[in-house]
Amino acid sequence: MKKGRLDDVVVIGVGCSKFGERYDKSYEDLAVEAFEEALQDAGIAREDLQAGWLGTFFPGFGGGMAGSSLADAIKLYGKPMTRVENYCATGMEAFRNAAFAVAAGMYDIVLALGVEKLKDRQSRGLPRIDWHPLLIKGNTAPGVFALAATRYMEKFSIDRKPLACVAVKNHMNGSKNPKAHLRKTITAEEVLSAPLIAYPFGLLDCCPVTDGAACAILARKEVARELKKDYISILGIGLAVTSARPQFKPDFEYIGFPATVYASNQAYEMAGIKPQDLDFAEVHDCFTWTEISNYEDLGFAQKGEGWKLAVDGDTAIDGKIPVNPSGGLKSFGHPIGASGLRMIYEVVIQLRGKADEGRKVRIKNGIGLAHNLGGPGSVACVTILGGK
């Protein structure tokens, strides 16, 4: 039996909706907005698609309960459509499943689409769903990540200023991105004086709750060549899961996330590269400190030294390793099912040299990385994309 090969799979089309408070658009409207752009980008007809994967974390009345939500949105019936969910890594999980299905030889052309409609909800953020009747009380995403951030800051003797550098950088990048939710530049002083949410995170340290959708169309490399498409190759994908209750593990240090380390090592090994070979990265900056932790867990810096990259400007557009040239979750917001695919979208357009002026990264090796982190840092997915 022939063994599947990931290097037979390429991305031939990407699309992304405008992210933001999209009260005038439904769940299906957002999905269609991203899908139609990806379909046009790929230069194919919807009937050419043989299967689809839908990423939605928090289904509601508007859709997302099953694969039929994708079929109804894009009006493609009689073909396999699967809904997947894996905490905040849901979007990249949809992409991963689609890639592996093509690699396995089951399909020639498929799509992965992530979409979430969060601004219509009554809650101010995502609900916490857990088993414990007491410990879950008052447990919020900012609070959970703040525990790790304060531990890190104490251990490595830093204050909130490096976190502010991350916020300023990502807002600057997002201000130049017409699809971002927040397109406003900010100063370090504004970050540090913003109302506190959960120390050390102020309002401007947190990504917003947002509506949005993103889509990728994948194909076998042979098919892409027949279509004469400007494709981007999938060099490596890694997924790793650790405990969803790290606070109960005595060896959890609260200074990083092992899931990201495991997932990135899988992806680097599959791609046959090292972190220093990357031209840029899109990482999961749900909070400013999380981006700093990601620098270290992804191998860009030693543990306890990632904050220096932010302070020294090494992760700026013109830095040594640009991070979140899109503006990141900090500017785009985090519609859970869409975020991972939105990162894939950004990596693809950057590698093609089609990013907006003012935020194009310098491409040397033709390699970019996308990283999704989910739950309380318990699941991570890393995708490495490159040229032909």
Active site residue ranges: 88, 334
Q: What's the burial of 133, exposed, middle or buried (CB within 10 Å: 0-12/13-18/19+)?
A: exposed
Spatial distance between the Cα atoms of 149 and 201, rounded to a whole number of angstroms: 9
Spatial distance between the Cα atoms of 379 and 371, rounded to a whole number of angstroms: 11
- Per DSSP, the three-state class of 88 is strand
Spatial distance between the Cα atoms of 2 and 297, rounded to a whole number of angstroms: 35
| Biggest CA pair distance of the chain | 62
User: Which segments within 126-226 are labelled E, that is strand?
Assistant: 196-198, 201-202, 212-220
Spatial distance between the Cα atoms of 88 and 323, rounded to a whole number of angstroms: 19
Nearest alpha-carbon partner for 108 in 230, 231, 217, 237: 217
Structural contact between residues 195 and 203, judged by C-beta atoms closer than 8 angstroms: yes
Q: Are strands 9-16 and 212-220 parallel, antiparallel or unpaired?
A: antiparallel
C-beta neighbour count of 122 within 10 angstroms: 5
Q: What is the dihedral of CA 44, 47, 50, 55, to 10 degrees?
A: 80
- Per DSSP, the three-state class of 202 is strand
Structural contact between residues 214 and 344, judged by C-beta atoms closer than 8 angstroms: yes
- Main-chain dihedrals φ then ψ at residue 302, nearest 5 degrees: -70, 155
CB neighbour list of residue 370: distance below 8 Å, 6 or more residues apart: 92, 281, 282, 283, 340, 343, 344, 346, 347, 382, 383, 384, 385
295 backbone φψ class: left, alpha, beta (φ>0; ψ -120 to 50): alpha
Spatial distance between the Cα atoms of 93 and 148, rounded to a whole number of angstroms: 25
Two structure tokens written together for 213 = 């959708």
